Structure formats: structure tokens, C-alpha cells
Copies of this chain bind each other. A is one copy, B any other.
Amino acid sequence: MTRDYRVLIDCRDEKGLVYKISKAFYDFGLNVEKNREFVDAQNGKFFMRSEVSGKFDPKALEAELKLVLPEKANIRLFEPRPKRIVLMATKESHCLGDILIRHEARELEAQIVGVVSNYDSLRSLVEKFEIPYVHVSHEGLQRAEHEEKIMAELEKFGEIDYIVLAKYMRILTPEFVSRYDERIINIHHSFLPAFIGANPYKQAYDRGVKIIGATAHFVNNNLDEGPIIAQDVIPIDHTMDWRQMRNAGRDVEKIVLAKALKLALEDKIFVYANKTVIFD
């Protein structure tokens, strides 16, 4: 049976890697549908993403690749399947709604297994799409207590590939973040590293910038400093107060988040050195 596989490799760079990998593909009789590679010469790192098809034994191919690649090479070789994702939100619906519509239209390689929010206000929107909505209020709780409750809910969803913070407006603790390392995608409503932290539109207004933007990034333990996946901006002018900036910014937020999410779902992102290599 012909199978479609994705092959993701990252390892120490050395001479002949493309040759060795493409030889393995050739020897296994694979069709290479797509190939992207990148060498970070400065850090001596090699990255490659391939889409291959053919009748072959994936275990044997993986073993062969292990043999020819440098020690400690990361080799991921798998048949694409829809990722299982959880969305987290607070009160704003534009990013959440956009993902729900894309999901409904089968635009995403994903199954939304649930939505978690610290408010109940988005329940009606989410339940229209027959997706479980879990309200975990933070009121009266310590941050750690609140997150424990969330994590308990997340457990119930079973395996989770990505958590998408679709305007979830609370800071996550290191404990939470480390449990889902490189699997939490956030949308920040500024072109980072400008305007880290609270109310970036207010900050942008006060500074008098002429562009505003949005940044989708993996979450790490430094607020708004995780690896950036996608960014975009829109022009603004002096006539806009910060609320108008916020309204205008919604479109760029949702588009940038969706773009980053798709890259993740299609396994097009490598993370290293707090940066991303994107094979789009």
C-alpha cells in the first residue's frame, strides 16, 4: 500500500547530509513530493522536511536514516493525521471564532477537542459547533490552583498536540508551560518585541507608532519572549485612539494566529535557539 509520510530531520551539520538522506529515500524507492532544507552555518545545524510517498517499511527507513546521520539526530517520520488541539480563550471571540469557522470548513489538519475559558461568555458561540466548552473561573483562586483545575480538564480531553491561546489573557506559570513545551501557541497583539505585556494597543497609542501588528509565538517562561512563528502589521494613523487600534488589530491577530497554527499542524516548524525555522 502506498503511504504518504512526512520526514523531519534536524541534526549537527556535516558534509553530504542531503546526499545521504536522498540516497536513503532513493534506495527505498520513495517519491519525494517536497523537500526543504536549511543549514544554520553559524550554529552548525541542519534541518530538513520532506514529504515522501511509496510502499515501504517506515521502521526500516528510520533505521537507515539513523545509520547515515550524525549522532543524536532527531528523526521524525510519520503519516500525517489531524492533530488534536485545545483552544483557550477569555472573552474576545475574534480569534476563537475564526478558528471555529476554519475547523468547520475542514481548512485545518486538526480536530478541536475542546475549548477552555476563564469566563463563560463564549460558551454559546462554541457550543453552536458542538465542541465541548469548559468554564474554569479564576475568581478567588491562586494562579497555581486555577491552572491545576485547567490541567485536570485538559487531562480529560485525552492526548493533546497543541494548545492554542486564542486571546487567553492570563499569564501561565512555568509549571503549566513546561508540561506543554513547544506545544502552546499564543497570539500577542503587537509586533514583538515591541510592547511586551499588558495592553499593547494602549502602549502603541502612547508611543505614537504608525504601524501596529500581531505576533504568534510558542509560549515559554519569559512573557512574550518565546520563539516567533508569524508576524504581520497594518498601518495606522493619528486619528485612531487605542480602542480603534484594538478593533483594527483584530483582523491581523486572527490571520497571524491562523497562519501560525496551520504551520504547526502541517509540521512545518522547527524550534531551536528560541527561534523558528519555517518551511512554508
Q: 1/0 contact trace for A80-95 toward B, CB 8 Å? A: 0000000000000110
- In the complex, identify which listed stretch (A3-11, A70-78, A227-235) lies at the interface while the others stay far away: A227-235
A228's partner among B23, B210, B232, B258 (CB-CB below 8 A) is: B210
A179 sits at the interface (CB 8 A) = no
A176 at the binding interface (Cβ < 8 Å): no
- Of chain B, the residue at the smallest CB distance from A225 is B207
Closest B residue, CB atoms, query A208: B275
Evaluate contact between A25 and B31: CB separation under 8 angstroms.
no
- With A125-B104, A128-B128, A211-B191 as contacts: A241 and B22 at CB distance below 8 Å: no
Q: How many residues of A contact B (CB 8 A)?
A: 63
List, in ascending order, chain B residues with CB within 8 A of A238's CB.
38, 40, 275-278
Chain B residues lying within 8 Å of A32, measured Cβ to Cβ, are: 15, 18
Contact of A101 among B101, B194, B210 (CB under 8 A): B101
Q: Is the CB of B15 within 8 A of A23?
A: no
- Residues of chain B lying within 8 A (CB to CB) of residue A241: 42
CA gap between A210 and B250 in the complex, in Å: 19
B residues in contact with A16, CB < 8 Å: 22, 26
Give the distance to chain B from A58, nearest Cβ to Cβ, in Å.
19
Extra contacts, 14 of them, besides A97-B104, A98-B98, A251-B255 (Cβ < 8 A), are: A15-B31, A18-B18, A18-B22, A18-B32, A22-B22, A33-B41, A93-B104, A94-B105, A100-B101, A104-B125, A191-B211, A192-B209, A194-B194, A251-B258
Which A-B residue pairs are the 5 nearest by beta carbons? Answer: A208-B275, A97-B101, A19-B22, A128-B128, A194-B194
30 interchain pairs (CB within 8 A)?
A15-B31, A16-B22, A18-B18, A18-B22, A18-B32, A19-B23, A33-B41, A35-B37, A38-B238, A42-B241, A93-B104, A94-B105, A104-B125, A128-B129, A191-B191, A191-B211, A193-B194, A207-B228, A207-B275, A208-B274, A208-B275, A209-B228, A209-B231, A210-B231, A210-B278, A211-B233, A233-B233, A237-B278, A238-B277, A238-B278
Q: What is the interface of chain A, defined by CB distance below 8 A to chain B?
A: 15-16, 18-19, 22-23, 25-26, 31-33, 35, 37-38, 40-42, 93-94, 97-98, 100-102, 104-105, 107, 125, 128-129, 191-195, 207-211, 213, 227-233, 237-239, 241, 247, 250-251, 255, 258, 273-278
